[in-house]
Structure 1
Amino acid sequence: MALVLVVDDDVTVREVLTSYLRAHHHDVVEAGDGEEALRLMAARRADLVVLDLMLPGIDGLEVTRRMRVSGDVPIIMLTALGRETERVMGLELGADDYVGKPFSPRELALRVDSVLRRTAGGTVSAGVVRDGDLVVDGDQHAATLAGAPLALTVREFALLRFLLAHPGVAYTREDLLQHVWGWTIGDRSTVTVHVRRLREKIEKDPTRPERLVTVWGVGYRWEASP
């Protein structure tokens, strides 16, 4: 049973989410603002955080930033559909997923299940995949570059592992949303942001990528080392 921290200043939203998540066999704790969320995380680390960006006091972006400093707990953001800037900023800070408000509680519960499976390695192929000095271990859920550990979020790890397992294949952003995120529909900018973040961690020059390359008019392709 995973522990999920639900952070939203709307009591009704928290109650509905808590009900659905418990029906999916998760343990749930609630916070009504950013300060309380950070206190709860310090007292007992959650396995996943569902985080509203529009919070009183410390907003969701700052909560995400502080949580990322202290660890790589998976974060699913709740965002107003029209607030694209905040959504992209959240993804840039390392959030793993987002759901737009108004949302379906059932959809959110399924997203939580999906992210937790990836955290546990359940949807990431087992075994070790290597490409030059880059090593990705699906069993240990760990990656290294030139012997140094890579700090990857759940989605970054899943994206890297998927592309590394399929070198030379060009994927559209819609393909990657389906294969890595498990979405049949979704915002393609999610993929764009994660690709940019991944390049910053694995490329010598992220502005001129040699491994995770852009296929113009299509999407992205992994170029295996010679």
Structure 2
Amino acid sequence: MKFAQHLSAHLTPEWRKQYIEYEGLKKMLYMAQSQAPLPGVTEPAAIQRYYASFEERFFQISEKELTKINTFYAEKLAETQRQLATLQNELEGVLDAQQEDGVRPSRQWWSILYRPNRHRARHKAICDLKLAFSELYLNLILLQNYQNLNLTGFSKILKKYDKMFHATKGANWQATQVEASPVYTSKKIDQLITEVESLYTNQLAGGDRAQAMKRLRVPPLGLTQVSPLSSN
């Protein structure tokens, strides 16, 4: 499967405009190659100016794309962190109330009468929290997939640049710009995924990790889960 097809098939539709414009960058490369002045017909200085001008435009656009991706990734990461903190507070509140009922039984008649209602309300709160944690987990996996797809996109388009124009600027840009950017260096998304898995297992699945992962499991989205990608 070509990467452009893979990207289109695995991106999150609501975030479509936030992904690398891989197809556009690839077309830019092929157009520059097809419109390049021919040696023997054009002076070497003119050929050099042509390629220098194209290189400048290509990496300006690449930088704009990388900035867009880093900004969106940071925003979504902060959003998921806020959601996790909120859910943790809600879960602590429900568990604290549950523990208080267990250690502080009341002899008042109205407490005994309404205890089933409190139990149902707490059960509903736990069910709602399980659903909320599952939704958060899905969002984290989607964001991890966003990170992986964009990094793969940059790696492939920069390698293609070097191959087509017999250059090394693509590899240098990958090392100095892409691999130095937050979307590449940040491991926070992996930490959050592990944290949610652990929290759900220990607090909502009675320590049963298999049960927890069954509830949290989402369809495979990673690059290693699909058919091999071609170099295009």
* TM-score with structure 2 setting the length: 0.22
Q: Between Structure 1 and Structure 2, which shows a larger proportion of strand residues?
A: 1
Larger Rg: 2
* TM-score with structure 1 setting the length: 0.23
